[in-house]
């Protein structure tokens, strides 16, 4: 039976798959079995070459070593035997399927707020790209009149694949009560709900302009590190750069 060699790339830092496959692979594998949460394979490279590889040294030091395996996805090394050439992998929730983009969910019911956030984001994208090792792009929602938001639309796929989702949660209405309850745009509620379901918490940034004409309480809690409250444009500009940089640090872009 012929051996089918699979290429594997070491994931030292975040890289999108389409870029990852353009560089030389780091390991060649012959898959023995594929399980729901793991993979067993033989590595076809020379044992001494593997012993000297930087990723193997990190494995010996007890660090998590992740590979993207051709046709299978992302896996972390659970155990490796240099004598038998056997290696066991466990399935990882990888970031390689993400695109180097930020997604802005804007609202049209109170357009003044979204206009300020958009302008600030566009300025920060220029600054971020000066120091990012990957070119970053800014994607936006698309408000197409009365049509409902479709979960399987190309636009929602862009939201799902973005590194970071920025949501304008500025209130557009108020429910009476003590205190009054503030309501965001219904489009924002749908997109934020979808983002909370498919993204990690640290990949969501909620931006809100405080409105003197709509006092009240937001209906749910968001961690302080994922929330930006501002009154005026200068408040937004003063906070946004730091928050975006902090949120993107985990991707080792800078």
Average pLDDT, the chain: 88
Residue in this structure with the two tokens 């940034």, named with its chain if needed: 205
What are the tens digits of pLDDT across the range 35-70?
Answer: 777 889 999 999 999 999 999 999 999 988 999 998
Q: What is the pLDDT of residue 183?
A: 92
216-241 average pLDDT score: 86
Structural domains for the chain = 5-91 (no CATH), 99-251 (3.40.50.2300)
- In the chain, % of residues over pLDDT 90: 51
Q: What is the pLDDT of residue 1?
A: 44
For 105-155, the pLDDT digits (tens) are: 999 999 999 999 999 999 999 999 999 989 999 999 887 665 666 767 788
Q: Which residue has tokens 């992740």?
A: 66
Q: Which is more confident, 104 or 254?
A: 104
> By C-alpha distance, which of 195, 192, 207 is closest to 110?
207
What is the average per-residue pLDDT within 162-188?
Answer: 91
* Lowest-pLDDT choice from 26-30, 96-100, 242-246: 96-100
Q: Please classify residue 227 by burial: count the beta carbons closer than 10 Å to its beta carbon, then call 0-12 exposed, 13-18 middle and 19+ buried.
A: middle
pLDDT at 254: 85
Contact 214, 170 (CB under 8 A): no
Q: Which of 250, 156, 163, 252 is nearest to 205 (CA)?
A: 163
Residues with Cβ within 8 Å of residue 50, at least 6 apart in sequence = 27, 43, 56, 80, 82
User: Considering the entire predicted model, what is its pTM?
Assistant: 0.78
């Amino acid at each position: 039976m012929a051996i089918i060699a699979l290429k594997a790339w070491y994931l030292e830092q975040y890289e999108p798959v389409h870029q990852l496959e353009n560089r030389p692979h780091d390991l060649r594998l012959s898959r023995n079995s594929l399980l729901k949460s793991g993979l067993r394979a033989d590595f076809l490279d020379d044992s001494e070459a593997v012993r000297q590889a930087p990723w193997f040294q990190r494995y010996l030091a007890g660090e998590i070593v992740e590979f993207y395996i051709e046709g299978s996805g992302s896996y972390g090394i659970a155990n490796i035997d240099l004598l038998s050439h056997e290696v066991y992998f466990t399935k990882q929730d990888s970031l390689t399927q993400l695109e180097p983009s930020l997604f802005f969910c804007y609202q049209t019911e109170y357009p003044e707020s979204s206009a300020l956030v958009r302008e600030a984001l566009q300025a920060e994208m220029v600054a971020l790209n000066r120091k990012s090792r990957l070119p970053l792009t800014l994607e936006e929602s698309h408000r197409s009149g009365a049509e409902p938001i479709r979960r399987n639309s190309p636009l929602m796929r862009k939201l799902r694949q973005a590194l970071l989702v920025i949501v304008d949660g500025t209130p557009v209405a108020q429910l009476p009560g003590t205190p009054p309850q503030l309501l965001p745009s219904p489009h924002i509620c749908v997109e934020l709900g979808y983002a909370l379901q498919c993204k990690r918490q640290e990949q969501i940034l909620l931006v809100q302009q405080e409105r003197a004409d709509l006092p009240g309480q937001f209906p749910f809690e968001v961690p302080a590190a994922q929330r930006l409250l501002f009154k005026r444009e200068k408040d937004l500009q003063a906070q946004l750069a730091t928050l975006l940089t902090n949120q993107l640090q985990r991707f080792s872009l800078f």
